[in-house]
Amino acid sequence: FNSLLETYQCGYIFKSLDDIPSIIQKILLNYETLSRNALLCFTKEYEFSNFFLKVKKSILENQSYGRTY
């Protein structure tokens, strides 16, 4: 997750529970940007429809290997 957070600037990492109050302040100050960047990250990295055709093609190719006619 570190690289995604760095690439998309969509969150913060903390090392101890003591860091949480300052992280909350950062989130509140940058909420609009973090929110927009988090949606962009999801869309590019996790949105299933972006990968569906590749998955479908792979499934169809793998199904044809075991068939004998």
What are the backbone dihedrals phi and psi of residue 13, each rounded to the nearest 5 degrees, phi first? -110, 140
pTM, rounded to two decimals: 0.68
User: Residues 25-64: pLDDT tens digits?
Assistant: 999 999 999 999 999 999 999 888 878 878 888 888 888 6
Q: Give yes or no for residue 1 having a pLDDT over 90.
A: no
Quote the distance between the C-alpha of residue 37 and its chain's center: 10
Asked if residue 8 lies in contact with residue 37, where contact means CB atoms within 8 angstroms, the answer is yes
